[in-house]
Amino acid sequence: MANGICIFAENYNGKLEPASAELVSAARLIQETTKEQISAVVVAKDCDGIIEELKNIGVEKIYAVKTDHDILFQDDAASQVLADMIRKIDPSSVLIPATPAGRSIFSRVAMKLNCGLTADCTELLVGTKEDGAYYIKQNKPSYGENVFVTIVTRDGYYPQMMTVRPGVYTIPEKSEGNAEVVYMDDIQIPESRIEIAEILPQEDSTDSILSAEIVVVGGRGTLEDDNFELVKQFADKIGAAIGGTRPMVDTETIPFDHQIGQTGLTIRPKICISLGVSGAIQHTEGIKDTKLFVAVNTDENAAIFKVADYGMVADLREVLENYLKL
Ligand SMILES: Cc1cc2nc3c(=O)[nH]c(=O)nc-3n(C[C@H](O)[C@H](O)[C@H](O)COP(=O)(O)OP(=O)(O)OC[C@H]3O[C@@H](n4cnc5c(N)ncnc54)[C@H](O)[C@@H]3O)c2cc1C
């Protein structure tokens, strides 16, 4: 081994997925210690726009395979192409967004390369071995999201491959980049056995929370007396996305991919309004980069007030009913 840190540039319709762009920030943090080159692999019909986007967020070398149609929904073909590319590039690590496509394609790539794949990392750190070689500490929640574990790739099973949860890292600032582009024309595109019948846009997705300017977060305090109905009406009125704490997921009030916190999503909206949330560190870790944070809680000693910019010691039902009457 090894030829730098490589990012999987997931893309649709000629555009780079934001979750892949975020990986450049993760790679840069690794690069600060290892000094490795940051590269990206692109497989797409329209590569040009994607290559331009990658250049402008600091990717230093781009390996591309042009296809006659987009194949990223055809996991069998896509995984073969990407495995062949990675075998040739021989990177020390591969960073993949923990999106449905990233997880599905790269579990197959890992099998083809006979290496490991750590799923859904929320933090990547660099460690040093006794001989001075670097390795990536792949930190992630595990055992039903109840503990944090550090996974390290075993010697002999390189590259170190990991999927990284969207939203944990931010997309780097744009700057004019000057990356080297290598078209890997010798890579064969196999025939896929998957036929795409129809592609439908998702109505409500994790993306809607990650990109929302305003997020209303409901906690266990919203579970009584139909209070969550009021939360939904409130969010609707102000055009906010809805997230929640873990008890909201445990009670199936919201889906898991709307949980905010250490084992859920990290959000960075302009405004976050927190209702009936106590403020446990495992939750506030996921909202600490919010620009303006407002919290409502009946308990004046609630920890949430320590992180809030504005706090209201009040019953959320009263606050919401008054607002909705306006
Ligand atoms: C390893 C690990 C990982 C975890 N990961 C996460 C995570 O990612 N995300 C997460 O959220 N949690 C996570 N948790 C759980 C976390 O520790 C807390 O238990 C959880 O965040 C508490 O949720 P809550 O604030 O909704 O509930 P509670 O702590 O029960 O707080 C409810 C709050 O509502 C207030 N309240 C009640 N009624 C009203 C009312 N009418 N009006 C206003 N306020 C009211 C109460 O005063 C109270 O402060 C994790 C825990 C562990 C151990």
One domain for residues 169 and 245:
no
Q: What is the CATH number of the domain that holds 266?
A: 3.40.50.1220
pLDDT score recorded for residue 326: 73
One domain for residues 174 and 235:
no
Q: Encode 131-166: b = buried (16+ Cβ within 10 Å), e = exposed.
A: eeebbbebbbbeeebeeeeebebeeeebbbbbbbbb
Cα(278) to centroid(ligand 1), Å = 5
Q: Is 187 annotated as a binding residue?
A: no
Q: Determine the structural domain holding residue 41 and report its residue range.
A: 5-183
Cα(234) to centroid(ligand 1), Å = 20
One domain for residues 154 and 100:
yes
pLDDT score recorded for residue 106: 98
pLDDT score recorded for residue 303: 97
In a domain, 85, yes or no: yes
pLDDT score recorded for residue 201: 75
Judge if the beta carbon of residue 264 lies within 6 A of ligand 1. yes
**Ligand 1 binding pocket mutation candidate from 143, 220, 312 (most atoms within 8 A of CB):** 220
Cα(282) to centroid(ligand 1), Å = 9
pLDDT score recorded for residue 7: 98
Q: Which atom of ligand 1 is nearest to the CA of 296?
A: 43
Domain boundary residue among 131, 152, 183? 183
Sign of torsion, CA 155 157 159 162? negative
Cα(281) to centroid(ligand 1), Å = 9
Judge if the beta carbon of residue 315 lies within 6 A of ligand 1. yes
One domain for residues 150 and 57:
yes
One domain for residues 14 and 141:
yes
In a domain, 197, yes or no: no
Q: Is 89 annotated as a binding residue?
A: no
Judge if the beta carbon of residue 297 lies within 6 A of ligand 1. yes
Domain boundary residue among 129, 152, 183? 183
Judge if the beta carbon of residue 316 lies within 6 A of ligand 1. yes
One domain for residues 152 and 286:
no
pLDDT score recorded for residue 231: 96
Judge if the beta carbon of residue 108 lies within 6 A of ligand 1. no
In a domain, 191, yes or no: no
One domain for residues 141 and 261:
no
One domain for residues 51 and 172:
yes
Judge if the beta carbon of residue 280 lies within 6 A of ligand 1. yes
pLDDT score recorded for residue 142: 87
pLDDT score recorded for residue 2: 67
* 102/161 Cα distance (integer angstroms): 11
Judge if the beta carbon of residue 298 lies within 6 A of ligand 1. yes
**Ligand 1 binding pocket mutation candidate from 217, 283, 316, 320 (most atoms within 8 A of CB):** 283
One domain for residues 38 and 172:
yes
One domain for residues 161 and 246:
no
Q: Which atom of ligand 1 is nearest to the CA of 218?
A: 26
Number of domains the chain is built from: 2
* 130/186 Cα distance (integer angstroms): 39
CA angle, 8 as apex, 72 and 28 as ends, to 5°?
160
- Could you state, in chain order, the average pLDDT of each consecutive group of 10 residues for the chain (326 residues)? 88 95 97 97 97 97 96 96 98 96 97 96 95 94 84 93 94 91 97 91 71 95 94 95 96 93 91 98 92 97 97 97 88
